[in-house]
Amino acid sequence: MRCHIHMSTTTKTEGLVIERKFTQNGQDGFDGVEFELRDALIQSNSGKVVFEQKNVEVPKSWSQTATNIVASKYFHGAMGTPERESSVKPLIGRVVDTISEAGQEAGYFESSESANNFKADLTFLLVDQYAAFNSPVWFNVGCHKLEPENKAGSWSWYPNSKRVAYGEHGYQTPQCSACFINSVQDTMESILTLVKTEGMLFKWGSGTGTNLSVIRGSNEQLSGGGTASGPLSFMRGFDAFAGVIKSGGKTRRAAKMVILDADHPDIEEFIAAKGKEEKKAQALMREGYDGNGPDSEAYASIFFQNANNSVRVTDEFVQAAEDGRDWELKARAGGAVTETVKAADILRQIAEETWSCGDPGMQFDTTINKWHTSKASGRINASNPCSEYMFLDDSACNLASFNLLKFLKPNGEFDVDRFTAAVRLLIIAQDILVDLSGYPTERLRETRMIFAPLVLAMPISALC
């Protein structure tokens, strides 16, 4: 859920009082950080150069891996053009400047001094690898200064009129959240709309998950005669678009999650889908086709390689599997039983396919909805591609992460005060991004404003 930020009550003007915890007065966050020039180079397993940029300016303390990731993924602009970024300073600068300016315009800060303190300390946290925002922030925030002519459209918040509306403002309303959950209905219009929505999310660097269980099974009847295509047929189309749309316009692949409930008529075909395609790839490799990586000849020739697949199960299903009882598969239209199978057989199929090719995963619907923090607003049907974000359909979540080792004192104790200050800074920044951001659909924008989930992750490495 969106965090409620404590507003200062000690001054006459509303706003947050920010005191410096990581920098001294007069410092800008880069002061005291030693920089150097080095080359960023990424090679394939065969030694082929995948990416190279010379004379990249990074902090001397950064690893070569961090250098390669930032240069190849986050630097904006085409290689060889004046717009191409080549230093971490303008990269972090455009992000922090944009967030700080947006915060000031929205009245977040008690004074210009607090705004400057926020800006300096946030800069320090990012440049010294205490913390990092999710990738879409680095892809998009502040790029309106580099591409002012960009007029890409999105649904965004208009504070003066206090309404959500569509506008063509390009990077001025950037896509900032990494994790999305989308809904779909059992109509051709809705399915094709989802294709467009996913495509725009991938374009700006985000990932998305959808539960396709509302779509009729492949043996169900259509109102005009004939039988339905079933979710797997549409999954082929979704998969193809995800494969060709590079996330954020970079070499990063699109991230996608597909979910199907365990009582869907096509659940067995769904469970076996990736394993069957994997066998095709293995056969192609035996015939001499290259199978080195997802873009190789073998794997580019098969389906279902651009998404994580998960089966959604209830406690009732798991209990039926334990008891050796039957499990009913039900039509989407009307709910009639289409087939009766053994729950244990379904569970065995999931286990075998996961052992074979890594998918499908499992999501435990009963527990997920038991832990739901907003039950009155609807149930949880799906997740983002990584499954750490479980929330309402048509919602989005902004992530940031901490490097916890940075908060260790020389004696090995954890510095709670500095960590608390860092959490406050990151949450304020993420909260500012909520209203700054643009979204591909009106529903996503509205849900994001109402709930505005924010996540602070705590891996060892802050570079995600």
Q: How many helices (H) and strands (E) does the chain have?
A: 13, 16
Structure tokens at 371: 């832990």
Q: 3-state SS of 153-203? A: EEEEEECCCCEEEEEECHHHCCCCCCEEEECCCCCHHHHHHHHHHHHHHHH
State the catalytic residue, choosing from 117, 211, 384, 398: 384
Q: Helix 343-357 crosses helix 267-286 at what angle (to 10 degrees)?
A: 30
- Specify the amino acid at residue 302: I
Residue with tokens 């053009």: 81
DSSP secondary structure of 39-50 = EEEEE-TTS-EE
Is-catalytic flag, 384?
yes
Cα distance between residue 455 and residue 427, in whole Å = 9
Task: Check residue 79 and report its DSSP letter.
Answer: T
204-224 CB burial, b ≥16 within 10 A, e <16 = bbbbbbbbbbbbbbeebeeee
State the catalytic residue, choosing from 3, 339, 386, 464: 386
- Specify the amino acid at residue 365: D
CA distances from 418 to 66, 92, 122, 424 (A): 24, 21, 12, 10
Is-catalytic flag, 388?
yes
State the catalytic residue, choosing from 14, 83, 388, 442: 388
Respond yes or no on whether the N-terminal peptide bond of residue 59 is cis (omega within 30° of 0): no
Is-catalytic flag, 3?
no
Supply the residues annotated as catalytic: 384, 386, 388
